[in-house]
Structure 1
Amino acid sequence: MATAHIGHTHRLDLADATVREWDATVVAADPEQGIVLDRSAFYPGGGGQPPDEGVLLWGGVRTRIAGTRTGDELYLVPVEGDPLPPVGTAVRGALDDERRTALMRTHSGLHVLTGVVFRDYGALVTGGNMEPLTARMDFDLAEVPADFKDRVAEAVNAELAADRPIQVQVLPREEAFAIPDIIRTATNLLPPDLEEVRIVDIVGLDTQADGGTHVASTAMVGRVEVVKMENKGRGFRRLRVRIV
């Protein structure tokens, strides 16, 4: 799960998903690895959610950020050919707001989808992937009614229209795992040595361990169109969705 720091970088994205601009200092800059800041709102990717894109502004220069690389540090990957700010440089970071907001709407919409399918059909998630305003989600679901796709879409959009609050908190591992069905994937991907678990709660519908960014309420997602259902065999159902 996501932590408050990766290496030397304090992650602003976990504390406040609405942050789009912030001040920071460069603590490392390597042409092979990338740029490390002391503070960053760039979501590094994970859990199916892609990393953010944006820019760093410094000394009248603009460095475009095409993505991230994680390891011992959270490295920001500049667009090829863009300059690297020297270590110690004060920079202004800014996310691509349209992309981040679309990914937040998509991620929250997928949580509503998984909550509805778990509530109504008892199915766990076996995989998934998202891009801005489009996604797929795979479920372990042996039998479905003929109108499954339409029934899921109707139930999901009813939950979105209900304007349920989406709350985020970090709990000690033991307390988090005391919450029923906190893991909605068929395989528990949380590291065994993880001491704190970040919880995303769609109040009254769905509570999951999750490290991504989300909107503040289900109404902010918009509407979900279930574009297609695919039968991949042996209880493997794939739903392709679009956020509108």
Structure 2
Amino acid sequence: MTYDLHGRTQRLELSDQSLRDFEAVVLDASPEGIVLSRSAFYPGGGGQPADQGVLIWQGVETRIAGVRKGDDLQLIPAEGDPVPPVGTVVRGAVADARRSALMRTHSGLHVLCGVVFRDYGCLVTGGNMDEMSARMDFNLPEVPPGFKEAVEDACNAEIAADRRIDVRVLPRTEAFAIPDIIRTATNLVPETVQDVRIVDIVGLDTQADGGTHVASTKQIGHIKVAKVESKGKGFRRLRIQISD
């Protein structure tokens, strides 16, 4: 199985994160979920929420409220919306404002992760995001004086540096030969995954990741470290906000 295939659906967003519109054939359909031959809807994962958008077919519009991962990738239609019959050719449109905001936020978290790992040697223990705001947890025993301000300044310096963000796929053995490729305290890449997708903020942060990202750090905007919280002995939560 290739890395960009989920069940019967080719995942277009893994190789082209800028893609918002696509055509596909309906393979299965019910009010519970629609399976397409190909899709650019990100299904969620790694703290990044699933995409939303619409399917357009035969003059009809079906709103997509989310995505469900199982044996197949199922697009979840909004309650009460019509469902296209099997065999129908549909045009999918991912909600651009939401996806773009989540891409900026996800890349911002990778900048944060890279800075905290480089400057303080801390690994990630958890994280989550919404549009333009996020949190990330680290195994940081003590908070040094000026930590919040220093991290924010360092993150924005990396954004100003306009570092390129590259995506590539490597065989598992080659990927895991990269030093510090896993930036989480626990390796979350299943043993069954043999092709590992790598997101590389060139010169700052390289890690295994399945989410969507902007093309360079400058596209993130500005990172504000809004709060540093204690999450138990030896753990800290950083809350960030992204702005233009």
TM range (shorter): over 0.9
- Answering whether residue 16 of structure 2 is matched by residue 16 of structure 1, we say yes
| Aligned residue in 1 for 2:26 | 26
8 Å CA contact retained: 2:124, 2:136: yes
Distance in 2 (alpha carbons) for counterparts of 1:206 and 1:98? 26
| Aligned residue in 2 for 1:74 | 73
* Secondary structure in 1 matching 2:157: helix
| Aligned residue in 2 for 1:178 | 177
- Answering whether residue 181 of structure 2 is matched by residue 211 of structure 1, we say no
| Aligned residue in 2 for 1:46 | 45
CA displacement at 1:61 relative to structure 2: 0.4
Distance in 2 (alpha carbons) for counterparts of 1:48 and 1:113? 14
Matches within 5 A, 1:27-176: 27-32=27-32, 34-176=33-175
Q: Which amino acid in the other structure matches residue 202 of structure 1?
A: I
| Aligned residue in 1 for 2:221 | 222
CA displacement at 1:3 relative to structure 2: 3.0
**Aligned-residue RMSD, C-alpha:** 0.9
TM-score, structure 2 as length reference: 0.98
* Secondary structure in 2 matching 1:56: strand
| Aligned residue in 2 for 1:3 | 3
* Secondary structure in 2 matching 1:87: coil
Distance in 1 (alpha carbons) for counterparts of 2:192 and 2:67? 25
CA displacement at 1:227 relative to structure 2: 0.4
CA displacement at 1:232 relative to structure 2: 1.7
TM-score, structure 1 as length reference: 0.98
8 Å CA contact retained: 2:31, 2:76: no
Quote the sequence identity (%).
Answer: 69
| Aligned residue in 2 for 1:233 | 232
Q: Which amino acid in the other structure matches residue 152 of structure 1?
A: V
CA displacement at 1:209 relative to structure 2: 0.3
Distance in 1 (alpha carbons) for counterparts of 2:196 and 2:149? 34
CA displacement at 1:145 relative to structure 2: 1.2
Distance in 1 (alpha carbons) for counterparts of 2:46 and 2:144? 29
Distance in 1 (alpha carbons) for counterparts of 2:223 and 2:18? 22
CA displacement at 1:194 relative to structure 2: 1.6
Q: Which amino acid in the other structure matches residue 123 of structure 1?
A: C
Q: Deviations along 1:104-150, whole A, 9 cap, x unmatched?
A: 00000000000000000000000000001000000000022121000
Distance in 2 (alpha carbons) for counterparts of 1:174 and 1:9? 26
| Aligned residue in 2 for 1:199 | 198
Q: Which amino acid in the other structure matches residue 28 of structure 1?
A: D
Distance in 2 (alpha carbons) for counterparts of 1:62 and 1:44? 20
Distance in 1 (alpha carbons) for counterparts of 2:205 and 2:231? 26
Distance in 1 (alpha carbons) for counterparts of 2:144 and 2:236? 12
Q: Which amino acid in the other structure matches residue 25 of structure 1?
A: V
CA displacement at 1:193 relative to structure 2: 2.3
Q: Which amino acid in the other structure matches residue 187 of structure 1?
A: T
| Aligned residue in 1 for 2:188 | 189
Please list every run of 5 or more consecutive structure 1 residues that lacks an aligned counterpart in the other structure: none
Please list every run of 5 or more consecutive structure 2 residues that lacks an aligned counterpart in the other structure: none
* Secondary structure in 1 matching 2:127: strand
Aligned length: 242
Distance in 2 (alpha carbons) for counterparts of 1:124 and 1:27? 42
Moved over 2 A (4+): none
